[in-house]
Structure formats: C-alpha cells, structure tokens
Amino acid sequence: MKKIFFCLLLFSFSVTLLSQVSKTPLPTKQQLAWHEMEYYFFFHFGPNTFTDKEWGHGDEPEDIFDPTDLDCRQWVRIAKAAGAKGVIITAKHHDGFCLWPSKYSTHTVRESKWKDGKGDVLKELSQACKEYGLKFGVYISPWDRNHPKYGTPQYNDVFVNMMKEIFTNYGPIWELWWDGANGEGPNGKKQVYDWDRFRKTVKTLSPNTVVFSDVGPQIRWVGNEKGIAGKTNWNYLDTAGYTAGAGAPSTDTLNTGNAFGKAWIPAECDVSIRPGWFWHGNEDEKVKSGEQLFELYLKSVGRGSNLLLNVPPDRRGLINENDSVALMAFKKLRDQNFNNNLLLDAKAYWEINEDAFLKDSISYHALDKKGYVYGINQQGFTVQLAKATAVNCIVLREAIHLGQSIERFKIALFNNDQKVDEITGTTIGRRRILTFPVKTITSFKVYMIDRKGNDNVNRVAAYLIDENLLEK
C-alpha cells in the first residue's frame, strides 16, 4: 500500500513540477554548459602592460607594445594545470589597441614593433586553446579612446566589423565579454552604443556564444570586482529598461539577482590575482595566495556562480612565476579538500515531512561517486552515513535545468539521535558549498523551506576540509 501511495504521490508531484517549471525561465543548453565551466582565466594584456596604467588614454605609441618572449602556449599550459577550463583575453581594452591586425583600426599589433608588425595575439592564443582543449573567449571594450569615429554613428559600424573579424578568424568563441564603460573618445564625444545591433550580430555569427555584460543577455556581472557572489544568488534577472554600464541595475541587485526575474542571466565573479588588472612589476610580491584563492572559490563557485580569475601576462609575454606558484597551490588545495566525498557509502531517504519516513518503500542507495541523488524530492531528505564521521563541509547542487526554485534551506546534523548543529541558508543554484566547525555525525537532514516552486536538489556531498580554509 505504501508503494502505491508513493507512486501516486510522485506522479502528482511530477505533473505539478512540470506545470510550474513551464512558467519559469530556464537556462539554454549554452548557459548550462557555461555553468559547468565553473572556473576560468582572464588575461588582461596590452599597452597598459608596458605603461603601468590600468586604463590607457589611447594615445600610447603602438611601439610600446613589444613583448620579448610572448608564449600563449605557456599561458594555456598553466591555465590547464591550474584546473581552469577556458580563458578570456582583452582583445581591445578602452585604449582601443587591438591585439589582432584589425582592418578597422590603425592602433593594432600591425603597427607595433612586435614581430615586425606580423604578430597576432588572438591567433596564437586561439590556436593554443585548441591544442590544449580549453575554451577560448574574448573581451572587447565598446569604448575606444583612440578611434577617430568613436562618438559618431559610424563607430557602431566599426565595432560590429571588429566583432565580425573576431568571430570569423578566431572562432569558435565560447564567451564574449562586453565592458559597459562609456567615456569620451578622441573627439570629446561619447558613443551611443547600438546594443540591440551588437546582440543580433553575435547571435547571427555565433549562436552558441554566451555574452557577458551588466545585463547579459546570457551572463551578468556580479556587481563587484572582488570575486564574491551574494549569499543569496538567483540566476534570474529583470533587464527591462536597463542597459550595460551606467544604465545597469544596482550592484546589490546584480549581486543577488531577482527572485522572480523574467530571464535566466547567472552571475560571473571577476577578480584579479593581483591588486591591478594588468601586470605591474611592483605587484609581483602582492599575488593572492592559494589560501586566498580558495576562499574566493567558496564565495563564488560555492555560491552558485562562476569564477573568472584574472592572471595578467607580464612584459615578456609570460605568466609570471609568482602567479604560477599561487595557482598551483590553489589547485592542490582544491584537490586535497574535495577529493574524498564522505557519502560514498551513505544512504539517502526521501521523506514526506519531518516526522513521517517511508523508509521501507522508498529507501535506496542514492549517492554515486559524483554525489548524484536519483530522484526529485518534494520536501527534503535524510542522509545516513555508514558510521560516525567528522564533517565540516556539505555541498548541495540544484537541478538547474529545471530552473531555480529553492528559496531557503535548513540542514540539521545528528550524532545518533542528538542534534549537534543546524545550518541555514537561502539559495542553492548550480553549487552551494557550506562550511562549518567540525562535527562528528551519523546523519543529516536537508529541508527546503518557503519554496517558490518544487525542490530539485540532485547532488549532495560531504567533506572534511582543512579547518584553516573554512569560509570566513
């Protein structure tokens, strides 16, 4: 009888879930693939590398760009060794200098001394990414402090043509990054960006590319450059009436998203491994440590976002040794602390409410080596460990292909029948990493509270990580 009841309950729940999901914004397959990228590199590189500026003025002589030993294969080797899954390069920053020989500018690598004007950074980097199996992305600033047509309607033609060059000659482009900065050009005028045309151009040329800006359309800025997502972090955002740059939603809104937003536009956390975005020699001893990077990982990936870590090449055209050491330390910490899921011998049970367990009819060995939970729970679930175990980290993952529905959750930790701790939080999203002081437990219960839809947690894991690495 219990089995019949449970089957009817599951059928009813499934119909309800599909009905609610159909009214909820869902990620595209390209956005789902983006969520799985999790962590990748930003490369800020250009004239600023050689002038010690962060924002160039656009009047820097082209010959200032002259890396002595540029090796994009070294960049990508380090990225891959560090566990990054892709890279994004500043093909054109605000100074207007193009790292490829664009036909639509006279401020490019073609006019520099580097390789006698025959060099092409985008070509070398895109080839290196193909060789090592990393995704290739491009940052291109609409602001151009050098181009004489900036501030006129003709500049929108220039920008579109530049994007066409990039997609045609260096694709596939996995992510396109639009900076919303909009300052004056050399003619003292500001540009009226034709964002609608820009978006349509990308969609026509490369429909699988995800586009980042303050308002997407596929990926949003997290609202700060510290690499930190909100503890509440919705993948939804309302964009009607907003534009990238000065017309964007507030940074608080970008950080948390909109609980009932009309579009699926998840947050990306950008942060530099150094104080600045471009390489500066006086910052070689100020590189973030592996421990600091791990903390940022918990506050970005661990809150359902992706981490875009800037690692700027130096004047040689190489990733600096100090940066490489920190990156390898970061990789080692992730491997050491997340390589032993303590739930591999555990069992999980769905429950209808906190007091009624249907263990006889619906218990199963729910957790595989990746922490998958088979099924979709209506109310919550209990995980029973094989033995008393010391734990200080629990990871939850929502089945975001069905949307994001969990508004709040509670995790109760038990040692036999004694509750030893309780952890509460808001959103889960693609991945939620929760750390807490070490507790010896035999089971824990996860309850989803105040849902706007139906809960759909589909993975769970538990770890014992280095106590010095707990989220602060």
- Could you tell me which residues come within 8 angstroms of residue 8 by beta carbon, excluding any fewer than 6 positions away? none
- Over residues 136-156, the pLDDT tens digits come to 999 999 999 999 999 999 999
- Over residues 260-313, the pLDDT tens digits come to 999 999 999 999 999 999 999 999 999 999 999 999 999 999 999 999 999 999
369-398 average pLDDT score: 77
pLDDT over 90 at 454, yes or no: no
Please give the pLDDT value at position 385.
Answer: 93
Query: CA angle 301-368-413, nearest 5°?
Result: 65
Contacts for 297-301: CB closer than 8 Å, 24+ residues apart: 297/39, 297/330, 297/334, 298/433, 298/435, 298/469, 298/471, 299/227, 299/228, 299/229, 299/269, 299/471, 300/222, 300/227, 300/228, 300/229, 300/269, 300/271, 301/38, 301/39, 301/431, 301/433
pLDDT over 50 at 100, yes or no: yes
Please give the pLDDT value at position 471.
Answer: 95
pLDDT over 80 at 358, yes or no: no
pLDDT over 70 at 391, yes or no: yes
The pTM of this model reads 0.92
Nearest to 299 by CA among 427, 83, 471: 471
pLDDT band at 2 (very low <50, low <70, confident <90, very high): very low
Please give the pLDDT value at position 349.
Answer: 73
- List the CATH code of the domain at 341-469: 2.60.120.260
How many Cβ atoms sit within 10 Å of the Cβ of residue 248?
Answer: 19
Tokens coding 190? 């500001």
Mean pLDDT of the chain: 90
- Over residues 323-352, the pLDDT tens digits come to 999 999 999 999 999 999 998 888 877 654
Query: Exposed, middle or buried: residue 363 (CB in 10 Å: 0-12, 13-18, 19+)?
Result: middle
| Three-class secondary structure assignment of the chain | CHHHHHHHHHHHHHHHHHHHHCCCCCCCHHHHHHHHHCEEEEECCCHHHHHCCCCCCCCCCHHHCCCCCCCHHHHHHHHHHCCCCEEEEEEECCCCCECCCCCCCCCEHHHCCHHHHCCCHHHHHHHHHHHHCCEEEEEECCCCCCCCCCCCHHHHHHHHHHHHHHHHHHCCCCEEECCCCCCECCCCCECCCCHHHHHHHHHHHCCCCEEEECCCCCEEECCCCCCCCCCCCCCEECCCCCCCHHHCCCHHHHHHCCCCCCEECCEEEEEECCCCCCCCHHHCCCCCCHHHHHHHHHHHCCECCEEEEECCCCCCCCCCHHHHHHHHHHHHHHHHHCCCCCCCCCEEEEECCCCCECHHHHCECCECCCCEECCCCCCEEEEEEEEEEEEEEEEEEECHHHCCCCCEEEEEEEECCEEEEEEEECCCCCCEEEEEEEEEEEEEEEEEECCCCCCCEEEEEEECCCHHHCCC
Nearest to 158 by CA among 131, 139, 172, 140: 140
Pairing status of strand 380-398 against strand 347-351: antiparallel
Please give the pLDDT value at position 370.
Answer: 52
pLDDT band at 5 (very low <50, low <70, confident <90, very high): very low
Tell me which amino acid residue 464 is: L
Q: CATH second-level architecture of 29-337? A: Alpha-Beta Barrel (3.20)
Please give the pLDDT value at position 361.
Answer: 34
348-358 average pLDDT score: 52
* Cβ atoms of residues 178 and 198 within 8 Å: yes
* Cβ atoms of residues 426 and 459 within 8 Å: no
Please give the pLDDT value at position 372.
Answer: 53
The residues spanned by each domain of the chain are: 29-337, 341-469
Query: CA angle 57-61-67, nearest 5°?
Result: 105
pLDDT band at 381 (very low <50, low <70, confident <90, very high): confident
Tokens coding 399? 């089945």
Residues in the chain: 472
* Cβ atoms of residues 150 and 191 within 8 Å: yes
- Over residues 43-99, the pLDDT tens digits come to 999 999 999 999 999 999 999 999 999 999 999 999 999 999 999 999 999 999 999
pLDDT over 50 at 135, yes or no: yes
* Cβ atoms of residues 190 and 182 within 8 Å: yes
Please give the pLDDT value at position 402.
Answer: 87
Please give the pLDDT value at position 310.
Answer: 98
Residue 38 backbone dihedrals phi, psi, to 5 degrees: 70, -50
Please give the pLDDT value at position 453.
Answer: 56
- Over residues 223-271, the pLDDT tens digits come to 999 999 999 999 999 999 999 988 999 999 999 999 999 999 999 999 9
* Cβ atoms of residues 448 and 408 within 8 Å: yes
CA distance 202 to 176: 9
